[in-house]
Structure 1
Amino acid sequence: MNFVLVILAKLLYIAVEPINFIYVIFIKTKFSWKRLNGYFRNEAIAIDRFGNSQYRSLFNTWFVTEKGYQHGNINETISSVLGKNKRDDTLTIAGNILTKILDTIDKNHCINSINENV
């Protein structure tokens, strides 16, 4: 039954996301580039937090040494965890590669993403 619920949730997301996007950006409020940017930022953070929680076993194995700060908190982004491990020098080779990619796209992304309140 849980498998069916996961499939249904994913299909619902795929169906509803474009409708929600049009509604929020073009119908509910007057269009603005600032609002569009905010919409995408909020969406990215929500997906990022979900990934940090849902894929914790994989990410902890691939990106973090055993003594490193672990992925898994739904209130924290993947980048925050990577930033803490970069700061503490507890990233694996794959973790260092990923942080370099993110930091190339957005300078000091991982360190700037650290959330000390989590």
Structure 2
Amino acid sequence: MIVKEKKRVRPLIGVLLFAISIVLFVITCPLGFIYGLFYTAIQKSVRGIGEYTLQMAISIDQLGNVVMQHILNLLLIKKGGYKFGNRDETISSAIGKNIQLETLSGFGKLIDKILDFIDPDHSLNSIDYHIEPRERAYKQ
């Protein structure tokens, strides 16, 4: 078995790339969003706009899972719960995994109830079993 060493990240490079990504996002996203709406409306009508905006919502949710991982781990799960922060996973997927593991905190259960009100069984239906966990294996 080949063990892959974790690549070292130089802190300054990470901060610099983050700053550049924010600037590019602010400058280019409005244009890309407007063009994408018109393009999708012409190519696929209103249904296509729903799919396009859902793709963006999922991406934003994945970003939120990374950005807010520390506070989500503190507020939504009990010790030993499935951790938030995987860049390829939505917050709802991580909540769903914690429902199955019975490791949601009281506040986490409240958030899940709110999501259930909007979309019944949202967190459980959002579980992505194809995500490679960051720290430990997750069993289905």
2:74 counterpart residue number:
61
1:75-86 aligned within 5 A:
75-86=88-99
> Equivalent of 2:83, from 70, 89, 105?
70
Deviations 1:65-94 (A, max 9, x none): 111111111111100000111122100111
TM-score w.r.t. the length of structure 1 is 0.86
Q: Which has the higher contact order (CA 8 A, sep 6+)?
A: 1
Q: Residues of 1 paired with 2:122 and 2:82: CA distance?
A: 17
Q: Residues of 2 paired with 1:93 and 1:68: CA distance?
A: 13
Relative distance call for 1:28 and 1:113 in structure 2 (3 A) is closer
- Tell me if 1:22 matches 2:34: yes
2:134 counterpart residue number:
none
**Consecutive unaligned residues in structure 2, runs of 5 or more:** 1-11, 132-140
Larger Rg: 2
**Aligned residues, how many?**
118
CA contact under 8 A between 2:40 and 2:49: conserved in structure 1? Answer: no
Q: Which 4+ stretches in 1 moved above 4 angstroms?
A: 1-8
The percentage of counterpart residues that share the same residue type is 35
Give, as a single letter, the amino acid of the residue that structure 2 aligns with 1:75.
D
RMSD: 2.0
Q: Residues of 1 paired with 2:68 and 2:99: CA distance?
A: 19
Q: Residues of 2 paired with 1:84 and 1:27: CA distance?
A: 36
1:13 counterpart residue number:
25
Give, as a single letter, the amino acid of the residue that structure 2 aligns with 1:97.
L
> Equivalent of 2:56, from 20, 38, 43?
43
**Consecutive unaligned residues in structure 1, runs of 5 or more:** none
Task: Tell me the CA shift for residue 28 of structure 1.
Answer: 7.1
Relative distance call for 1:29 and 1:39 in structure 2 (3 A) is same
> Equivalent of 2:115, from 81, 84, 102?
102
TM-score w.r.t. the length of structure 2 is 0.74
